[in-house]
């Protein structure tokens, strides 16, 4: 008999609750956000996981703040690590008992984009548009993983197996970051051109910004600068060797010049997204184009901007009609004049997660320390969301089944 499932449910702007939810099956049921064409979809290529660790993400927070069109009743959570307890009849290479990391992108492995390693925009897993994810608005309605159990489709393709279960459990707070923020931050740096000797400015000191900063260090950057408004987050960035800028004090370029001797960097990373605030005297105002325009100003001519920060096509809480549909006043002429390269969109997690796993297991990085991984129970998730919303310099890791070693 199936065990009781419980999950974190979005109840409307500002509210999440932990509720009893359906135990997962290999058929996609009707529910919040599920596209009608997907109802009844058979997933015999999937596995059911007992969740070992699942994390609260800044992208979840956008939904909980009411800044997306997320439907009420959605089970949240797209950062998933778990143990396989049941596999569908068509799964060949993943076995019961395996401990696996699950990319937040749900990918079929069969379409043109998946075959080109663009797994963030799979063409088959979401009838509404390219790209699917667990527990996320407009991403197919797949139930999320901030729960005790979840179903993962296309398991042979999507699951990254840890070859040594005991070793993986000992490093679970690092390995849990492979499902999203570590590859996402790293992707921001790779697409910004970070390499040996680079100077890098990362806008945003939340978990993705801190992951990007650690990723830049792993890539060999000479100087990594993190900008934010919240002192606690700046202190966390300093704790692992980053320079910091308090953007409430004014223009980042002037502060960068004080650090580097020039008001520009080689590489710019936007780890803030569409809820950006202004600089200096405008720090209390929401100005969603601020970060992109600032990065164009302070990234050298011929440089690149990695943009892992989230931008949406529907923002009911925006302050202008244009911003409500994702139209921002971006100085594209400046970026054009400086021959900047822009890379946007979801990180294709599978492009990076295996190599980052090896870096973690080989003790080449300490991502959990960098993002201040903090374990809480499933029942504490609502408080975790409130603390995160207040700017806590922590990456909250949920332990739904009490499986994370003390």
Looking up tokens 């004014």 gives: 250
User: Can you tell me the distance from the alpha carbon of 103 to that of 350, in angstroms, rounded to the nearest whole number?
Assistant: 7
Q: What is the mean pLDDT of the chain?
A: 96
Q: Residue 235 has which token pair?
A: 């202190």
Residue 353 lies in a domain: no
Instruction: Specify whether 175 is located in the same domain as 220.
Output: no
Identify whether 230 is part of a domain: yes
The reply to whether 40 and 136 lie within a common domain is yes
* Strand-strand pairing, 265-270 and 199-203: parallel
pLDDT grade, residue 382 (50/70/90)? very high
Instruction: Looking at the structure, tell me whether residues 206 and 279 fall in a common domain.
Output: yes
Alpha carbon distance, N-terminus to C-terminus of the chain? 30
pLDDT tens-digit map of 102-161: 999 999 999 999 999 999 999 999 999 999 999 999 999 999 999 999 999 999 999 999
Nearest to 95 by CA among 106, 87, 103, 104: 87
Q: Give residue-wise pLDDT tens across range 292-311.
A: 999 999 999 999 999 999 99
The residue segments making up the domain with residue 133 are 5-180+368-398
Residue 362 domain-assigned (yes or no):
no
**How many domains does the chain divide into?**
2
pLDDT at site 2: 64
Q: Within this chain, do residues 247 and 305 fall inside the same structural domain, yes or no?
A: yes
Q: Are residues 298 and 201 in the same domain?
A: yes
Nearest to 347 by CA among 149, 108, 59, 48: 59
25 and 157 share a domain? yes
CATH of the domain at 227: 3.40.50.720
Question: 352 lies in a domain?
Answer: no
Query: Is residue 319 assigned to a domain?
Result: yes
Q: What percent of the chain has pLDDT over 70?
A: 100
Q: How far apart are CA 278 and CA 55, in angstroms?
A: 28
Q: Is 357 a domain residue?
A: no
405 within some domain: no
Give the DSSP letter of residue 255: H
Helix 231-238 vs helix 207-219: angle between axes, to the nearest 10 degrees?
Answer: 20
Domain CATH for 67:
3.90.180.10
Confidence of residue 1 (pLDDT cuts 50, 70, 90): very low
Alpha helices in 192-260 (DSSP H): 207-219, 231-238, 252-260
CA 226 to chain centre: 18
Instruction: Report DSSP state, residue 308.
Output: -
Asked, for residue 404, whether it belongs to a domain, the answer is no
Q: Which pTM was predicted? A: 0.96
Q: What is the per-residue pLDDT for 37?
A: 93
Q: Say yes or no: 21 and 164 in one domain.
A: yes
User: What is residue 3's predicted lDDT score, i.e. its pLDDT?
Assistant: 82
Over residues 69-86, the pLDDT tens digits come to: 999 999 999 999 999 999
End residue of a domain, out of 306, 328, 343 = 343
Burial class of residue 136, CB neighbours in 10 A (0-12, 13-18, 19+): buried
């Amino acid at each position: 008999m199936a065990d009781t499932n419980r999950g974190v449910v979005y109840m409307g702007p500002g509210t999440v609750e932990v509720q009893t939810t359906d135990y997962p099956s290999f058929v996609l049921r009707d529910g919040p956000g599920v596209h009608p064409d997907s109802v009844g979809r058979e997933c015999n290529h999937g596995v059911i996981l007992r969740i070992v660790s699942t994390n609260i993400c800044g992208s979840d927070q956008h939904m909980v703040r009411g800044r997306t069109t997320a439907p009420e009743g959605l089970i949240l959570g797209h950062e998933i690590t778990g143990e396989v307890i049941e596999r569908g009849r068509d799964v060949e290479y993943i076995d019961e008992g395996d401990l696996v990391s699950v990319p937040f992108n749900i990918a079929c492995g069969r379409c043109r984009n998946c075959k080109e390693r663009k797994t963030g925009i799979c063409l088959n897993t979401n009838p509404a548009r390219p790209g699917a994810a667990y527990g996320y608005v407009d991403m197919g309605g797949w139930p999320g993983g901030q729960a005790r159990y979840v179903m993962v489709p296309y398991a042979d393709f999507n699951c990254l197996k840890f070859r040594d279960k005991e070793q993986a459990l000992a490093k679970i707070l690092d390995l849990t970051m492979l499902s999203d923020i570590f590859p996402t931050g790293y992707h921001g740096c790779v697409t910004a051109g970070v390499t040996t000797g680079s100077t890098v400015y990362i806008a945003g000191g939340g978990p993705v910004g801190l992951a990007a900063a650690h990723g830049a260090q792993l890539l060999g950057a000479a100087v990594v600068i993190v900008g934010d408004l919240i002192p606690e987050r700046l202190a966390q960035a300093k704790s692992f060797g980053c320079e910091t800028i308090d953007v409430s004090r004014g223009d980042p370029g002037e502060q960068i010049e004080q650090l580097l001797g020039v008001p520009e960097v080689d590489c710019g990373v936007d780890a803030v997204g569409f809820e950006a605030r202004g600089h200096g005297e405008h720090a209390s105002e929401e100005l969603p184009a601020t970060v992109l325009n600032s990065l164009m100003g302070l990234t050298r001519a011929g440089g690149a901007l990695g943009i892992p920060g989230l931008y949406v096509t529907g923002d009911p809480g925006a302050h202008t009609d244009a911003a409500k549909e994702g139209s921002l006043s971006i100085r594209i002429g400046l970026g054009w004049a400086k021959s900047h390269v822009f890379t946007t969109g979801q990180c294709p997690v599978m492009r990076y997660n295996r190599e980052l796993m090896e870096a973690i297991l080989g003790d080449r990085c300490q991502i959990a320390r960098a993002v201040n991984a903090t374990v809480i129970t499933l029942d504490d998730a609502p408080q975790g969301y409130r603390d995160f919303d207040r700017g806590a310099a922590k990456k909250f890791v949920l332990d739904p089944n009490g499986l994370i070693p003390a």
